[in-house]
């Protein structure tokens, strides 16, 4: 048994292990994606008052605490049986859009750009943001500026960038400061210019990755995402739509409360991450994907002019249904543009300055579900409470969970293509990492900086013997 230790940053969020199994001839037969940490949120929140859930569950993640806070608050709104004030709806969506911009910037620039701009086979010592600074300083500056814009909008609205407590059951707790609106509108053009520049750069670069496009999770699956009543892309509100691998709608306008009719969760023996599947098809064939790629496959259109123009070009180039996981990156950039356009629309609406921003109510339903599109995909919070409002049961389905089956299969595909014989090459490890990065998984949902987290890759022979390990 031989072990190779590579002391480098793998640029994923959380702890994961991958096992690749080989047959006698040294060919890849199977690949497994193991998430090796247990968080226990669903269990330890039992007994807590429901209105504490937005702040407790936002601690699941440091990158997108806002997503958890929003999904949780929506579940609490349902428990209170309130329709939150219109200004609060707009403010929550505005906050969410800012979150999309910062999170997508983080994923594209900070985590994936070293692979994408420096090359999959580039020197691993330099394949990080420091190397990026040397080779592509302008792109790196853009990435940092774009993320900063999103984070500053979050801070302006919610007082804190990470784990703010502004979003509360029933709405938000402070109306929008008109000055924050002016400042954000003044900074907006710079952020939009960055996204346009980056999209142009990415469209020029895309053709340099034919092998990756072909083998990075490039297979037909179902897709799931929120859409509006007209079928357009929705991030904060909307109903679920499922499409089959050919793009045909198989379930549409599924209300958040009905998610369990369509989504089942399988527990896997070797991972702490459950594997959701589309119930009518069953496990494991009901594999579906969520996130930027899925949302653009599911939605008829974005609903904002510039993003729709980009979407048209994207579809013209790649087809109506895009299957390759490599195009998560492209889809992510279009979504960043959509989020910016929505921010402008929301800020231009005078109703966003409304001062009625919070509804107060007691427990009026013993069951509540909140669904949003987090940057990484559909996020479901479902709570049950007793008559006094204490949580008796909670179920959270996070984006990376929905993608679990597809990530595993994507690893298998890329391993079959790049892993040769009984010896792992550095380039194989990086491509396996990169296929995971394309999904931008939030495995821990907890780290908020570059993940200094070892990802362990194991190569096993037909008898289960460990042949090689990189980590």
Partner 1 sequence: MTEKVKIRIDGEVIAASAGQTILEVARANNKYIPALCYMEGLSAVGACRLCMVEVSGVGRLLPACTTPVQEGLAVATSSPQLQSYRKITLELLLVERNHVCAVCVSSGHCELQALAQDHGVTHVRYPYNYPRLTVDTTHPRYVLDHNRCVLCSRCVRTCAEIEGAHVWDIAGRGIRSRLVSELQRPWGEATTCTSCGKCVQACPTGAMAEKGWGVEEMTKKRAAVSRLTSMREGQ
Residues lying near partner 1 in the complex (CB under 8 A) are found at 47-49, 51-52, 54-56, 59, 163, 165, 168-169, 173, 360, 362, 386, 388-390
Using CB atoms within 10 A of its CB, is residue 425 exposed (0-12), middle (13-18) or buried (19+)?
middle
Q: Which residues contact 92 (CB under 8 A, 6 or more apart)?
A: 70, 73, 84, 167, 171, 172, 236
- Name which of 456, 459, 457 is nearest 423 in CA terms: 459
For residue 358, the minimal CB distance to partner 1 (Å) is 10
Place of tokens 């090459």: 425
For residue 75, the minimal CB distance to partner 1 (Å) is 14
For residue 377, the minimal CB distance to partner 1 (Å) is 25
Task: Please identify, using beta-carbon distances, which residue of 168 and 412 lies nearer to partner 1.
Answer: 168
Question: Can you read off the two tokens belonging to residue 162?
Answer: 């990470």
For residue 389, the minimal CB distance to partner 1 (Å) is 6
Residue-wise DSSP of 22-75: E-TTS-EEEEEEEE-----HHHHTTTSBGGGHHHHHHTT-SSSHHHHHHHHHHH
The DSSP element (H or E) to which 100 belongs, if any, is helix 86-105
Task: Please identify, using beta-carbon distances, which residue of 53 and 275 lies nearer to partner 1.
Answer: 53
C-beta neighbour count of 450 within 10 angstroms: 16
For residue 187, the minimal CB distance to partner 1 (Å) is 27
Task: Please identify, using beta-carbon distances, which residue of 172 and 371 lies nearer to partner 1.
Answer: 172
For residue 72, the minimal CB distance to partner 1 (Å) is 11
- Name which of 276, 221, 275 is nearest 243 in CA terms: 221
Task: Please identify, using beta-carbon distances, which residue of 45 and 429 lies nearer to partner 1.
Answer: 45
Task: Please identify, using beta-carbon distances, which residue of 169 and 410 lies nearer to partner 1.
Answer: 169
For residue 44, the minimal CB distance to partner 1 (Å) is 10
Task: Please identify, using beta-carbon distances, which residue of 35 and 53 lies nearer to partner 1.
Answer: 53
For residue 448, the minimal CB distance to partner 1 (Å) is 14
244 — phi, psi (to 5°)? -85, 175
E runs forming strands in 274-376: 275-278, 288-289, 367-374
Rounded to the nearest 10 degrees, the angle between the axes of helix 328-348 and helix 178-205 is 160
- Name which of 375, 332, 104, 322 is nearest 213 in CA terms: 322
CA distance 154 to 168: 15
Task: Please identify, using beta-carbon distances, which residue of 430 and 447 lies nearer to partner 1.
Answer: 447
Task: Please identify, using beta-carbon distances, which residue of 70 and 139 lies nearer to partner 1.
Answer: 70
């Amino acid at each position: 048994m031989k072990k190779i230790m590579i002391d480098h940053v793998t640029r994923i969020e959380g702890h994961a292990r991958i096992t690749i199994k080989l047959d006698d001839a040294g060919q890849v037969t199977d690949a497994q994606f193991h998430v090796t940490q247990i968080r226990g949120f669903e269990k330890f929140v039992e007994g807590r008052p429901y209105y504490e859930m937005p702040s407790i569950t936002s601690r699941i993640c440091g990158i997108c605490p806002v997503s958890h806070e929003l999904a949780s608050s929506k579940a609490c709104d349902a428990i209170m049986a309130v329709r939150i004030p219109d200004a609060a709806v707009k403010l929550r969506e505005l906050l969410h859009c800012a979150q999309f911009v910062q999170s997508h910037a983080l994923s594209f620039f900070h985590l994936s750009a070293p692979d994408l701009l420096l090359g999959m086979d580039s020197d691993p010592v330099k394949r990080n943001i420091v190397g990026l600074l040397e080779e592509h300083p302008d792109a790196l500056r853009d990435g940092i500026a774009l993320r900063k814009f999103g984070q500053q909008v979050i801070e302006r609205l919610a007082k804190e960038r990470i784990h703010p407590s502004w979003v509360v059951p029933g709405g938000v707790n402070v109306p929008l400061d008109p000055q924050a609106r002016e400042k954000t509108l003044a900074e907006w053009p710079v952020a939009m210019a960055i996204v346009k520049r980056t999209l142009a750069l990415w469209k020029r670069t895309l053709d340099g990755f034919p092998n990756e496009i072909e083998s990075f999770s490039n297979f037909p699956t179902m897709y799931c995402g929120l859409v509006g009543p007209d079928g357009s892309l929705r991030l904060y509100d909307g109903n679920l739509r499922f499409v089959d691998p050919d793009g045909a709608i198989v379930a549409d306008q599924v209300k958040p409360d009905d998610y369990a009719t369509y989504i089942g969760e399988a527990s896997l023996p070797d991972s702490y991450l459950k594997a959701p599947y589309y119930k009518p098809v069953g496990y494991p064939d009901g594999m579906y994907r969520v996130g930027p790629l899925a949302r653009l496959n599911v939605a008829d259109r974005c609903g904002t002019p510039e993003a729709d123009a980009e979407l048209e070009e994207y579809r013209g180039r790649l087809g109506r249904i895009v299957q390759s996981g490599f195009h998560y990156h492209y889809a992510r950039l279009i979504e960043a543009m959509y989020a910016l356009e929505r921010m402008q629309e929301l800020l231009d609406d005078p109703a966003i300055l409304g001062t009625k921003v919070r509804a107060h109510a007691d427990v009026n339903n013993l069951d509540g579900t909140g669904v949003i599109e987090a940057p990484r995909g559909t996020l479901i919070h479902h709570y049950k409470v007793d008559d006094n409002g204490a949580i008796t049961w909670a179920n959270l389905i996070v984006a990376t969970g929905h993608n679990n089956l597809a990530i595993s299969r994507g690893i298998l595909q890329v391993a079959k293509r790049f892993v040769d014989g009984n010896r792992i090459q550095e380039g194989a490890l990086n491509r396996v990492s990169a296929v995971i990065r394309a999904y931008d998984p939030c495995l821990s949902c907890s780290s908020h900086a570059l993940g200094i987290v070892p990802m362990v890759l194991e190569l096993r022979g037909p008898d289960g013997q460990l042949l090689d390990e990189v980590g």
